Structure formats: C-alpha cells, structure tokens
Amino acid sequence: MRPQIVLFGDSITEQSFRSAGWGAALADTYSRKADVVNRGYGGYNTRWALFLLHQLFPLLYLQDSTKPPVAATIFFGANDAALLGRTSERQHVPVEEYKENLRKIVNHLKECSPTMLVVLITPPPIDEAGRKEYAQSVYGEKATELPERTNEVTELYAKQCIALAKEMGLRSIDLWSKMQETEGWQKKFLSDGLHPTPEGNAMVYQEVIRVFYEAWLSAGEMPYDFPHHSEIDGKNPENAFHQQCL
Amino acid sequence: MRPQIVLFGDSITEQSFRSAGWGAALADTYSRKADVVNRGYGGYNTRWALFLLHQLFPLLYLQDSTKPPVAATIFFGANDAALLGRTSERQHVPVEEYKENLRKIVNHLKECSPTMLVVLITPPPIDEAGRKEYAQSVYGEKATELPERTNEVTELYAKQCIALAKEMGLRSIDLWSKMQETEGWQKKFLSDGLHPTPEGNAMVYQEVIRVFYEAWLSAGEMPYDFPHHSEIDGKNPENAFHQQCL
C-alpha cells in the first residue's frame, strides 16, 4: 500500500540499518509514508549484482498487482574498485565494465517503471592508512603491506558513475568528492578506511534526502497512510477512517 | 521474496527506526534474511488499530500470490491506558475492550496465516514524574498537575495483555514488569516517562529477539536470500547463482 524506496548496493547499504545508519534514518524520515527496503549485499560488485536484478525487480510488477518502487538508490563501486593482484582481487571489475553494469541496472529499473527515481551514488573515498590498520587488526602480521584498494583507483570508478548519471539524465551523489571536502575526512567519515562512521552515515543520509527532495520525493509532501491520530475524533473514530477512503 | 516480520503498534513502534531503535536493530539482525516492516501508528489505541487491520493484513494473501508475514509483534496499550478526564482521554479505551480488541487483532492475523508467529507486547511502565516533566517542557505553566497516565492503571492493561496471550497460547513480552526489575528504570529506560531511551530500545530488541529465537525464528538459522559473497567464485560467478536456484 505504501510506496517503496529500495536501497540497492553493497555492504555500505546492507549495514545501513545499524545504529545511526543512513538506511534506518531514511526509514524514519519516510515513516508512515513509504517503506524503505534494504537490498544491500555485502561484498558484491556490479557484475554479481546483475544476477539478482530480475528477482529483486521483476518485470511482472503490473501483471502481479504489486507496484514497482517509486525510487531506488544504486550504490556500488567500492568492491568493483578492489585492485587486481591484491587480497580482494576476486571482487575486482574493470572500470569500463562497472559503468556498463550500472547502465544495465538502470535500464532494467527504468523498464520496470519509467517514472522510478533512480539515484546513483559513487563509492566513498578510500583511506589507505585506515584500510591498513583494519587489515592488521584482523590478520595481524599476516596482513599484506600493499593496499587492496586505493583512493586514486576508486576515483576512476566514482568519475564513471557520475559520467553515466549525466549521460542518462539521472540524479547522482558524488560521495567520493563530497566526503573529501572536509578536513580529516579519513577518520571523521570512515571507520575502517571504507565503511562510514555515524558521521559518514549522516552525510550519506543528508545527501540522499537532499536529492530525493530536489526530485519532489519529499516526506513532508507525502500523505500519511492512515489519519494522523490528532485527526481522529475519540467519540466517532469511524469518521476519520471513512474520510480516508473517499 | 524474503519473509516479512511486521511490527504493528503505536508510537513506540513507529519511532523504532530512530537511532538505536529496536525496529532498526531487528532489521539489521535479519539483514538479507527477512524484511522488518514498520506498521507503527503514533497515538493509536487498539480501537483505532482495528480500522487498519484489513488493509494492513489483507485476507487475500494467497489469491494475490503475496505471502503473509511470518511473524508480527502487537504492541499496543500505552494509549488505551490514558486516563478518562485527563488531557489524553480521547485515546482512552476501557481495559476489557483493550483485551477484546487485541483478541480481534490476533484472530485476524491467524486467519491470514495460522502459522504466523504472533507476539504480544505489553505497554512499558509509566514514570509519572517523567511524564510531568515532559508536559511542563511542552506546555509550560499550562501543563496540568494531574498525570494523563499512571503506572498503576497501565499495569491493568499489561496484565490483560499477558492473560490474553496465555488464553490464546501466544508468546508475549511483559515489558511493564521487565523494565521495573532494574533499579532506576524510570530514567534508564524511559526518555519522557513513556517512550524508550536507547537502553530501553535495547531491552525491547533483546526481548523480541529472545522470543523470536525461542520460536525458532532465528536469523542464524535462516538462509541468505542470495549467496554470501565469499561463496562466489570470482572467475565463474554464475555457478553460485545457479546453485541458488536448485
């Protein structure tokens, strides 16, 4: 009954309902107005995401009497940008393919619903020192000296994400650039050099809300799914509910 | 595709996706396994909740190819227990009717799906001093001296909630009693004498998880909706996804 907003992405999306997470904050903002559905898949890159597409977003929406989402965030790239020849190379996807995979995802969503608001989000920047500390905390002395991701390479992915959004006329969030505008972004916004801290989550939330509002998907403008309790007459509650059905 | 867990209740449910909220924590625990759907309606009592029942939980589930929820929490009573003749009397529902309304809600859910795990949650205790401070902070000198809720009256509702669970063979959470087992519960668990603090939210979460696990709805036992990334062969990703379909 309520419109759906789907968050599709990797671990930064999957973990977005943790305390102070950006997904939970969105769910709270759209409370009683839209359902925020988490479709985050930790460790996934865009190549693997393609395998999920038809099941997560079936083309049968209209036949099936269920409605397609009104909006979706597409937030991949952090794993695609893992370097070849390093510990996370299994997740690597070449940047050209990353861009084309994103295009396929967008095309599929637009086929489900041409009016769906699709927002592309770039991967966050990489704090290489933070990644190294994290690897040492997990693997101890066995941690390799060479980083599995670099900020320089991740930038290439972020740029292609933004370029695709421009090509396709989509709204986008350049998280890679936005985070780096703040001094000390490495520790302020990233907990392990990659995943957002509570402050990083707050930035992702604010950016998504800003873009949603610019696209008129403003919670303030959307109706409650049932009367607000203050509109219910204690003696004749049925009046409020009948009105709702008109 | 994923099973649904519905949280049906009043403001304590509606606000459960705020930072450190019990609903968001549940959503995170069941991440990639079940969707936690918030159907909290601030200010609602059980009488008003009945107006929503058929729309929120349609009996047409099977005809419609959509599946009914696997579990639901029913968490009302804080507003039903508002006192007659006080500022929130509009929300008051007599305790006998509260119990019968809960019974109607449960019967409807069981009609939707006899196997649905239905968990009744009592209202939390009331810290009358906390309610008074809250009223003064909002209304200043205009705040009435007399409390709109008392812990004594709310206890009657909590007891009927637990009694109904026993009658109907349902699992339940006696939040009213549980919170009061801890010294200083008034400020530790309640922010305004009624709504839970982060620690109060943590208690609600732990109690719900405990009951879900006792009923075998354990996230650890449930399958991921798609392969975990560690099971995906970087060179032949399709293998993992084909396996999933077998």
Average pLDDT over residues B71-80: 98
Contacts of A40 in chain B (CB under 8 A): 31-32
| CA–centroid distance for B168 within its chain | 18
Which residues are CB-contacts of B174 (< 8 A; sequence separation ≥ 6)?
B122, B158, B162
Asked if A48's CB is within 8 angstroms of B28's CB, the reply is: no
Instruction: Say whether pLDDT at B158 is over 70.
Output: yes
In a mutational test of the A interface, the residue from B232, B236, B245 whose CB has the highest number of chain A CBs within 10 Å is: B232
Active site residues of A: 11
- pLDDT tens sequence across B101-128: 999 999 999 999 999 999 999 999 999 9
**pLDDT of the residue at B87:** 86
- The partner residue sitting opposite A31, judged by closest CB among B38, B51, B226, is B38
Q: Are B50 and B127 in contact (CB under 8 A)?
A: no
- The partner residue sitting opposite B31, judged by closest CB among A17, A28, A89, is A17
Asked if B43's CB is within 8 angstroms of A229's CB, the reply is: yes
Whole-number Å distance between alpha carbons of B116 and B69: 7
Instruction: Say whether pLDDT at A236 is over 50.
Output: yes
Minimal-distance CA residue of chain A relative to B231: A43
Instruction: Say whether pLDDT at A152 is over 70.
Output: yes
**pLDDT of the residue at B120:** 98
Minimal-distance CA residue of chain B relative to A224: B41
Gap from B169 CA to chain A (nearest CA, Å): 31
Contacts of A91 in chain B (CB under 8 A): 229, 234
Average pLDDT taken over every residue of chain A = 94
**pLDDT of the residue at A12:** 98
Average pLDDT taken over every residue of chain B = 94
Q: Are A38 and A73 in contact (CB under 8 A)?
A: no
CA dihedral of residues A109, A12, B208, B178 (deg, nearest 10): -140
Gap from B166 CA to chain A (nearest CA, Å): 30
Average pLDDT over residues B184-201: 97
Q: How many CB atoms lie within 10 A of CB A79?
A: 30
Which residues are CB-contacts of B119 (< 8 A; sequence separation ≥ 6)?
B71, B72, B73, B74, B170, B171, B172, B173, B208, B211, B212, B215
Whole-number Å distance between alpha carbons of B161 and A204: 41
**pLDDT of the residue at B139:** 87
Asked if B31's CB is within 8 angstroms of A35's CB, the reply is: no
**DSSP of A108-152, one letter per residue?**
HHHHH-TT-EEEEEPPPP--HHHHHHHHHHHHGGGS-SS-SS-HH
Asked if B41's CB is within 8 angstroms of A226's CB, the reply is: yes
Minimal-distance CA residue of chain A relative to B36: A37
Instruction: Say whether pLDDT at A245 is over 60.
Output: no
Contacts of A241 in chain B (CB under 8 A): 51
Asked if B19's CB is within 8 angstroms of A19's CB, the reply is: yes
**pLDDT of the residue at B62:** 56
Average pLDDT over residues A186-198: 97
Instruction: Say whether pLDDT at A57 is over 60.
Output: yes
Whole-number Å distance between alpha carbons of B189 and B124: 9
Instruction: Say whether pLDDT at B245 is over 60.
Output: no
Q: Are B241 and B207 in contact (CB under 8 A)?
A: no
Contacts of A230 in chain B (CB under 8 A): 43
Average pLDDT over residues A54-62: 82
Gap from A169 CA to chain B (nearest CA, Å): 31
Instruction: Say whether pLDDT at B244 is over 70.
Output: no
- The partner residue sitting opposite B17, judged by closest CB among A1, A28, A228, is A28
Asked if B48's CB is within 8 angstroms of A229's CB, the reply is: yes
Whole-number Å distance between alpha carbons of A97 and A74: 16
Average pLDDT over residues B198-226: 96
Active site residues of B: 11
- The partner residue sitting opposite B51, judged by closest CB among A18, A52, A241, is A241
**DSSP of B50-82, one letter per residue?**
HHHHHHHS-TTTTTTTPPPPSEEEEE--TTTTP
Instruction: Say whether pLDDT at B246 is over 50.
Output: no
What's the complex ipTM?
Answer: 0.94
**pLDDT of the residue at A246:** 46
CATH 3.40.50.1110 fits B4-245, yes or no: yes
- pLDDT tens sequence across A157-186: 999 999 999 999 999 999 999 999 999 999
Beta strand ranges found along A22-127 (DSSP E): 35-40, 71-75, 117-121
More confident residue, A87 or A6: A6
Q: Residue A55's pLDDT band (boundaries 50, 70, 90)? A: very high
Which residues are CB-contacts of A139 (< 8 A; sequence separation ≥ 6)?
none
Asked if A17's CB is within 8 angstroms of B20's CB, the reply is: no
Q: Are A97 and A31 in contact (CB under 8 A)?
A: no
- pLDDT tens sequence across B20-67: 999 999 999 999 999 999 999 999 999 999 999 999 999 876 566 678
Contacts of A228 in chain B (CB under 8 A): 42-43
DSSP class of residue A196?
Answer: B
